[in-house]
Amino acid sequence: MAGAEGGGDLRAAVQNPISSLYGLPYATEAIALYYNADLVPEPPATFEEMTALCDALEGIDNCLGIPGGADDVGPAAYHHYPWVSVLGGYIFNFSLSTGYDTSDVGLDTEEAIGVTEGLDLIASLSYERYISDGDFSIVSVSERDEAPGLVNFHVIAITLSGRAVEELYLDVVTAVRDAVSIPLALKLSPYFSSVGDMARQFDAAGADALVLFNRLYRPDFDLERLQVVPRISLSTPAEIRLPLLWISLLHGRIEASLAASHGVDSAAEVIKYLLAGADAVMTTSALLRHGVEHLATLVEGLREWMHHKDYASVRQMQGVMSQQHTTDPDAFERANYIKTLEHYGNEPVPGTTPETALR
């Protein structure tokens, strides 16, 4: 890994101590070139240089790792899209006023003349065996035949201790903070052994904002075909409880801003997150269900509730129900367990409308 000798690497590649295999993240939001500095002294500037380097490495097949490929469901277009957009192309034209226009496909327009060549390049690299056939990325693979199952990054990750994973996160945050001056936001997983402690450490490492939480997608089982299949379920308001709890606990205890990203469908969830102490509230599922214009409904619902409760600004209501400011701090602790069970059966009737729930 480049920079490993000086200790400044991002630790994006994880070495398996048993088989000396390296894995890269399956999905990334930014495009970067990772290379093995022991095999490649200087990173190539062009694909021609890259393939020439691969040809010079004896005994190593599939030396390039590019996220993508295909699986049982079809081509991984998510990973191929940068090759389309960077060359001026798009799938469907989009505007804020009208949304997606499925009649306007931007793959063969005059502006996107390089898209075909870009995708042909990826296909040729795969055909010529520079790229792995799988739907994962691998670099500098040795002893692959002895442990083929460990090539997959997700399997490699299982061999790491929880503390090692946390240190990887902290190293990345520290390295990025040292490299850039723009605000740094980190979208957290809810599965750290201690969410509160990690939030404090990310705050101390220089994160300007924490997004709670990353909603990780999980596979499902197809009982008819007996296959593992990808399946997306849009979030529901019932899912806000965990991020609502942690935003309530963290508000006022760390310097980083807090953003809520889970379960927002109506103005009720927006209001709850703000009362807990969120600085921002995000939603995708609600817009997929109701359209982009639903944003206006959320804002109007928030305004109506604030008027009803005599709040003059969002800042005035923010954090009012966080643990630091509530009159009943024990309500956030397990000490409230018995009381919660006693209240079962007295909850609002399922199907209560957002309008009635606000009051």
Q: What is the 3-state secondary structure (H, E, C) of 329-350?
A: HHHHCHHHHHHHHHCCCCCCCC
Rounded distance, CA 285 to CA 54, Å?
A: 43
Question: Is the torsion defined by CA of 26, 31, 37, 39 positive or negative?
Answer: positive
Q: Where in the chain is the domain with CATH 3.20.20.70?
A: 162-357
Q: Report residue 37's pLDDT band, with 50, 70 and 90 as the boundaries.
A: confident
CB of 209 within 8 A of CB of 283?
no
Sort strands 209-212 and 185-188 into parallel, antiparallel or unpaired: parallel
Rounded distance, CA 276 to CA 237, Å?
A: 15
Closest residue by Cα to residue 145 from 295, 21, 240, 252 = 21
Q: Where in the chain is the domain with CATH 3.40.190?
A: 4-158
Q: Which residue has the higher pLDDT, 277 or 95?
A: 277
The domain made up of 4-158 has a fold known as D-Maltodextrin-Binding Protein; domain 2 (3.40.190)
Closest residue by Cα to residue 27 from 84, 85, 63, 66 = 66
pLDDT of residue 7: 40
Share of the chain above pLDDT 90, in %: 34
Instruction: Indicate if the pLDDT at residue 336 is higher than 90.
Output: no
Share of the chain above pLDDT 70, in %: 63
Instruction: Indicate if the pLDDT at residue 82 is higher than 90.
Output: no
Instruction: Round the average pLDDT of the chain to a whole number and report it.
Output: 75
CB of 249 within 8 A of CB of 196?
yes
In the predicted model, what is the mean pLDDT of residues 21-41?
Answer: 62
- pTM here is 0.56
Closest residue by Cα to residue 208 from 280, 282, 315, 314 = 280
Q: Report residue 131's pLDDT band, with 50, 70 and 90 as the boundaries.
A: low
Q: How far is CA 281 from the centre of its chain?
A: 16
pLDDT of residue 75: 47
Compute the C-alpha angle 90/94/95, nearest 5°. 145
The domain made up of 162-357 has a fold known as TIM Barrel (3.20.20)
